[in-house]
Structure 1
Amino acid sequence: MRGIIIALVIGALFFMLALIGFSLQHATLIALVAFLVTLWTNEALPLGVVSLLPIILFPVFGILDTNAVTVNYSKSIIFLFLGGFMLAIAIEKTGLHRYFSARLLSFFPKTARGIIYALAITSALLSSILSNTTITLMLMPIALYLSEEKVLKIRFLLATAYGASIGGILTPIGTPPNLILMGFLEEHHLPQLAFGEWMLFMLPIVALMLLVMPWLLSMDLKQYDLASISQDIPELTVSQKRLYGLIVLLAAALFANTFLKQFFGFAMNEKLILLGFGLLMFVPKIGFLEWEDTRQMPYEIIFLFGAGFSIAAAFGTTGLAADIAQKLSFISSLPFFWMLVVVALFVTFS
C-alpha cells in the first residue's frame, strides 16, 4: 500500500508542476504517466496489472475513449513477440541453448579474456532471439561455475549481462523496446525495417560493442589461469536437431523475405512468418510444445506493450507530444552528434 501512496503523491506533484507550463489536459496526462511509471518502478502492483490501468484511467480522465485505448493492446506487432517467445520456450524446453553455449565456449582460449569474450558473445547471440533476462539467468550459473576467484566471477557476470543487452538490439524481437519502436513506426506510417534489414544495420554496431566491451572487462586479468575449464560439448538429441533445422529454416525465410521486398517489391508479412513458426511449435511430430507450456509466456510484457502504445497514442491525440517538442526545440539547434548524446543520456537515466 505504501508504494501506491507514493505513486499517488508523485502523480500529484507532477500534476501541480505541469500546470505551470501545460494545459489542464496535458498536465493530467503527465500526472497519470508519472503515476504509472512509479508503480512500474516500485512494483507496488504486479507489472501486468499496472499495464492495464490506462484502459480505466485514460477514459475516466478524458484523455482517450475506451476504444482508442483498448485497440493498442492488440497491435499486430504484439503477435511478432508472441511468435518469437513460442520459439524461445521451445529452445529452453529442448535445452538447445546449452548446446549453443558449450559450442561457443569451445571456440575461445582458456584464458580470462577468452572466457569473457565467449560469455559475452554467447549471451548476445542467444539474447537476439530470447529474453535478455532469461538468458542472463540461464548463463549466470555457468559464469559462476567457471572460477573460484571473486574478481573473475564478477567480470564473467558482467560479460553475461552486458552481452545480453548488446545482443538485444541485433534483431527486432531481441528486446521489448525494439518492438515498441516498430509499433510506433507502424502506427505513424513511417518507413519500417524488415527483419533482415534491421540485422544488417545493427550487426556492425553489435560486432564493435562485442569487440570492445569484453576487452575492457579483461584488461587486468592476464595473471589468472583457467586451463582446467572443461570444453565438453553435449550431443544433440533428435528433438534438438529438429528444432535446430527449424530455426535455420526460419532464418532463411526471414532473410529471403527481406530480399524479396528489396528486389521485387513484395514480401510476406514478417509477423505472419514468425507467428506461423511459433504455432508450428505445437504441431504433433513437428513441434515441441503443449498448451501448458504457454504458462511461461510473459503476458505482462504484452500488456506493457499495450500500455506503452496507449501512452504514445495519448501523447499524439492530445497534442502533448507536439507541445513538448516545441518546448524542446532548442535541441534541434545542437550539432547532430550532441543531439544524439542528449537523447541517449535522457533515455539512459529516465
Structure 2
Amino acid sequence: MNKTVTKIAIALIIGGIFFLLAFNFFSIKQAYLIGIVAFMVTLWTNEALPLGVVSLFPIILFPAFGILSTNATSINYSKSIIFLFLGGFMLAIAVEKTNLHKIIADKILSLFPPTPKGIIYSLLITSAILSSFLSNTTTALLLLPIGMFITENKDLKMRFVLSIAYGASIGGIITPIGTPPNLILLGIMEDKGLEMIPFLKWIFMIFPLALIMLIFTGWILSIGAKNIPLKREMFEYKITKEQKKVSFAIIALILVLLINTPIKPYYEGLGLNEKGILLFFGLLMFMPPFNILEWEDSKKIPFEIIFLFGAGFAIAKAFSNTKLDHAIAEYLLKTGDISPYLILLLIAALITFTTEITSNTALT
C-alpha cells in the first residue's frame, strides 16, 4: 500500500515539474497537457496502478483541465481500428486454444539442422512467425520450454532464450496486428485523414526489413557458439478437426485479404474494409460450423490494451486540439542548425532507450 502511494506521489511530482517547465514555453492548456501526459507515462512506467486504469485517466483529466470535452475524449476509445485488433485477437485465441501454434512451431523447427546455429535461427524464425499474429508474450511463453531444455549448456541456453525474445519482438512488426503500437499508428493515420496502409501492403513493406533483422540477429547470437550436435525432442500429433477449421479460416482470411488488396491502376480490389474482414473472421470462431470459441474465451482479450489504444488516440487528439503538435514542430524548425536526420536519430535513440524501461504500447 505504501509503495503504491509513493509511486503515485512520484508521478504527481514529475507531472508537476513538467507542467512548470512547459508553462515557460507553451500556453496554459498545452502545459496542462504536457503535465498530464508526464503523470500518466510515469504511472505506466512504475506500474503503481493497472495499465488499463491509468489509460482511462484522460476521460476524467482532459475535461477537468479544459483540454477536451468528455465526448471528444471518450470517442477515442471506440475507434474503428480497435475492431481490427479484436478480430485478430479472436483468431489468435482460437489458434492458441486448439494448440495449432504448437504444430506450426514444430514444423518450422524441424526444417533446420540440429546445431547451435540451426536452432538459433529456427527459434528466431519460429518466434517471429508466431508473434506476427499471436502476442509477443504468448509466443515467448510457448517457445521458452523448447529453448530451455534443448541443452544443458548454460551459454547455449542463454542464446536460445534470447533468440526467442528477439524473434518475438521482430515478428511483431511484420503484420498490423502483430503488436499494439502498429494499430496505434494506423489509428492516428486514420484520424489525421492519411491513407491507411492495407494489411498485405504492410507485410510486403516490412517483411524485407524483418528478414534482414532476423538474419543479422541470428548471426550475432551465433558468434562464439560451440558447434556441438543437439537433439530436439519430437512429439507425435494428429491434426484435430478443430485445428483444421482454424487453419481453413486463416487461409480463407489470407485469400480474402489478397483479393481485397487493390493493384492500381489495374485492379481496384473488392473495396471491403479490412477492419470488418478481420472482425468477421474473428466472430466466425464463435459460430457454426466452427464453434471454436465460447464467450468465456473472450476473457483472454486484453481489454487493458484496448483502453491503452483509447488513451493514445485521446492524447493525439488533445495534442491536435491544443495545437501542441504545431508548437513543438515550430520549435524544432527554429533550431535550423540541426539536421532533420539528426533529429530523427535522436528521437529513435530516445525511444529505443525508453522502451527498455516502459511498455512499447504505452510509449507509442
TM class by smaller structure: over 0.9
Determine the structure 2 residue equivalent to 1:235.
Answer: 238
Residue from 309, 312, 316 that aligns with 1:312? 316
Instruction: Spell out the pairing of 1:189-200 with structure 2 (5 A cutoff).
Output: 189-200=193-204
Residue from 291, 297, 320 that aligns with 1:293? 297
CA distance in 2, matches of 1:269, 1:99: 31
Determine the structure 1 residue equivalent to 2:71.
Answer: 67
Q: Secondary structure at the match of 1:328?
A: helix
Q: Secondary structure at the match of 1:147?
A: coil
TM-fit CA distance, 1:261: 6.9
CA distance in 2, matches of 1:139, 1:24: 50
Determine the structure 2 residue equivalent to 1:34.
Answer: 38
Percent of residue pairs identical: 54
Residue from 102, 107, 116 that aligns with 1:103? 107
Kept in 2: contact 1:102–1:233 (CA 8 A):
no
Kept in 2: contact 1:99–1:233 (CA 8 A):
no
Q: Secondary structure at the match of 2:262?
A: helix
Q: Secondary structure at the match of 1:38?
A: helix
Q: Which runs of 4+ in 1 moved over 6 A?
A: none
CA distance in 2, matches of 1:114, 1:22: 55
CA distance in 2, matches of 1:331, 1:165: 35
TM-fit CA distance, 1:279: 0.2
Q: Secondary structure at the match of 2:214?
A: helix
TM-fit CA distance, 1:330: 5.8
Q: Secondary structure at the match of 1:264?
A: coil
- The answer on 1:256 being equivalent to 2:254 is no
Kept in 2: contact 1:84–1:129 (CA 8 A):
yes
Runs of at least 5 residues in structure 1 that lack an aligned partner in the other structure: none
CA distance in 2, matches of 1:12, 1:330: 27
Kept in 2: contact 1:120–1:162 (CA 8 A):
yes
Q: Which amino acid aligns with 1:152?
A: L
CA distance in 2, matches of 1:189, 1:64: 20
Kept in 2: contact 1:331–1:339 (CA 8 A):
no
CA distance in 1, matches of 2:217, 2:45: 28
Instruction: Spell out the pairing of 1:316-327 with structure 2 (5 A cutoff).
Output: 316-327=320-331
CA distance in 1, matches of 2:145, 2:206: 29
- The answer on 1:129 being equivalent to 2:133 is yes
CA distance in 2, matches of 1:57, 1:170: 35
Instruction: Spell out the pairing of 1:6-155 with structure 2 (5 A cutoff).
Output: 6-155=10-159
**TM-score under structure 1 normalisation?**
0.96
Kept in 1: contact 2:91–2:285 (CA 8 A):
yes
Q: Tell me whether 332-341 or 201-210 shows the greater mean CA deviation.
A: 332-341
Q: Tell me whether 138-147 or 37-46 shows the greater mean CA deviation.
A: 138-147
CA distance in 2, matches of 1:91, 1:83: 13
Q: Deviations over 1:144-171 (max 9, x none)?
A: 1111111111111111111111111111
CA distance in 2, matches of 1:295, 1:232: 30
Kept in 1: contact 2:261–2:268 (CA 8 A):
no
**TM-score under structure 2 normalisation?**
0.92
Determine the structure 2 residue equivalent to 1:206.
Answer: 210
CA distance in 1, matches of 2:349, 2:59: 31
Q: Deviations over 1:253-283 (max 9, x none)?
A: 1122113676433510000000000000001
Q: Deviations over 1:82-118 (max 9, x none)?
A: 0000001001100001001100000000011100101
TM-fit CA distance, 1:223: 3.3
Determine the structure 2 residue equivalent to 1:223.
Answer: 227
Kept in 1: contact 2:131–2:171 (CA 8 A):
yes
CA distance in 2, matches of 1:249, 1:40: 38
Q: Deviations over 1:159-196 (max 9, x none)?
A: 11111111111111111110001001100111221001
Q: Deviations over 1:280-307 (max 9, x none)?
A: 0001331300000001110000000000
Q: 1:261 to 1:3 in 2, by over 3 A?
A: farther
Q: Which amino acid aligns with 2:259?
A: A
TM-fit CA distance, 1:207: 1.0
Q: Deviations over 1:28-66 (max 9, x none)?
A: 110000000111111111111111111000000111000
CA distance in 2, matches of 1:27, 1:294: 40
CA distance in 2, matches of 1:303, 1:53: 10
Q: Tell me whether 103-112 or 13-22 shows the greater mean CA deviation.
A: 13-22
Kept in 2: contact 1:108–1:118 (CA 8 A):
yes
TM-fit CA distance, 1:233: 5.5
Residues matched between the structures, number: 349
Q: Tell me whether 126-135 or 56-65 shows the greater mean CA deviation.
A: 126-135
Q: 1:134 to 1:262 in 2, by over 3 A?
A: farther
RMSD, aligned α-carbons: 1.6
Q: Tell me whether 328-337 or 150-159 shows the greater mean CA deviation.
A: 328-337
Kept in 2: contact 1:84–1:274 (CA 8 A):
yes
Runs of at least 5 residues in structure 2 that lack an aligned partner in the other structure: 355-364
Residue from 165, 168, 173 that aligns with 1:169? 173
CA distance in 2, matches of 1:84, 1:331: 43
